[in-house]
Amino acid sequence: MKALVFHEFGGPEVLQINEVTDPAIVAGSVVVRTRAIGLNFADIYRRRGNYHLAGKAPWILGYEGAGIVERVGEGVEGIRVGDRVGFADAPYANAELVSVSADRVIPLPPDVSFEMAAAILLQGLTAHYLANDSYPVRAGDEVLVHAAAGGVGQLLIQLCKLKGARVLGLTSSEEKREVALAAGADEVLLYEDGADRDWASRARDWSRDGNGVNVVYDSVGTTLMDSFAAVRMKGSVVFYGMAGGNPPSVDPRFLMDSSKTLTGGDLWNHVTTREERVRRSSELFADLSAGRLRLDIPRIFALSDGADAHRLMESRLSTGKIVLVP
């Protein structure tokens, strides 16, 4: 089979299409012929060498995708050859064939395309647990979403609006501000806006009573203390990413004095069984099919043009999902 591989860490130029050995079928797993593969920033970090990679070169990136089951291993029940499926946590996905543990297989409804499945699963599951578990958003809540024009940000805005919340977004440019507004945000602030760079005070002013929002979803990291400044007394900050760098340390006495809550979030602590993956994915697919969730058509690259796809993602000029197609 063909796969997008790299033999050394570096820029997009290290990526190349090679012939590699097909994955073996093992008990408890299936082999999926990929039709669409989601590209995520974690792939870039792994290519650069920021994340530890097991094994030896050549390495294959990718964890998220969708396709058709081609082989079924011993002991697998409820999954058949020919089934349309997706996955959000199966390694070596940048290839024509991927071995997927049966407990990570997600069935696709007939009206959800492979491309849309690869575009929504990882980011959609993240937005789903954030809005339902880390802080269960309620009607009337005021919510602040960092990186509101990103894939998770846009979906999180929509899920919060579906629950009846009022949503304030944060972005880095006017173009991204328009994207977040189109996703349904009631208002969007820029991190840096001329001489007035104190977005936390502007967020408090935006809240109905001027005391701050109920919850801030922070995926930037370095902004953590500003997020606390934007949230009201007895409010919550959900920290689930470090796109801007490591967060500062938080003194527990500060939390006690302000009665504010800091909650951490990681997707893989919330989808530990196949039942959880299927339940959450089914809710996302239902909202997508009914038009309650809007997902922009992903930008499509051939798998052989993976280096160009990485360049686009690194440029920060893309606001939608990027999908690779073998």
Tens-place pLDDT, residues 217-242? 999 999 999 999 999 999 999 999 88
Q: How far is CA 251 from CA 258, 280, 288, 308, in A?
A: 11, 34, 41, 44
- Closest-CA residue to 176 (of 162, 197, 192, 199): 192
Q: Both tokens of residue 296? A: 């922009």
Q: Is the dihedral of CA 158, 162, 165, 166 positive or negative?
A: positive
- Closest-CA residue to 170 (of 214, 200, 205): 200
Sequence letter at residue 237: V
Give Cα 105 distance to the centre of its chain.
18
Sequence letter at residue 276: E
- How many Cα atoms are found within 13 Å in the side-chain-facing hemisphere of 142? 18
> 246, 222 in Cβ contact below 8 A?
yes
Rg of the Cα atoms in the chain: 20
Where does residue 158 fall: left (phi above 0), alpha (psi -120 to 50 degrees), or beta otherwise?
alpha
- pLDDT score recorded for residue 195: 46
- pLDDT score recorded for residue 197: 61
Bond preceding residue 58 cis, omega within 30 of 0: yes
192 CB burial (10 A radius; 0-12, 13-18, 19+): exposed
Tens-place pLDDT, residues 186-195? 999 999 865 4
Q: For Cα atoms 233, 237, 242, give the angle at the middle one, nearest 5 degrees.
A: 150
In the chain the domains, ranked by start, together with CATH numbers, are 2-121+271-325 (3.90.180.10), 139-264 (3.40.50.720)
Q: Both tokens of residue 134? A: 């880390």
Q: Is the dihedral of CA 15, 17, 20, 23 positive or negative?
A: positive
Task: Kindly report the pTM of this predicted structure.
Answer: 0.93
Tens-place pLDDT, residues 51-104? 878 788 899 999 999 999 999 999 999 999 999 999 999 999 999 999 999 999
Q: Give the integer Cα–Cα distance in Å for 111 and 235.
A: 39
Q: Give the integer Cα–Cα distance in Å for 133 and 178.
A: 28
Q: Give the integer Cα–Cα distance in Å for 56 and 6.
A: 11
Residues of the chain with pLDDT under 70: 193-197, 319
Rounded to the nearest 10 degrees, the angle between the axes of helix 151-162 and helix 174-182 is 40
Give per-residue burial for 207-216: e unless 16+ CB within 10 Å, then b. Answer: beeeebbbbb
Q: How far is CA 51 from CA 161, 175, 205, 267, in A?
A: 35, 31, 40, 18
Q: Give the integer Cα–Cα distance in Å for 165 and 157.
A: 9
Sequence letter at residue 40: N
Q: For Cα atoms 127, 130, 134, give the angle at the middle one, nearest 5 degrees.
A: 170
Other C-beta atoms closer than 10 Å to the C-beta of 273 total 9
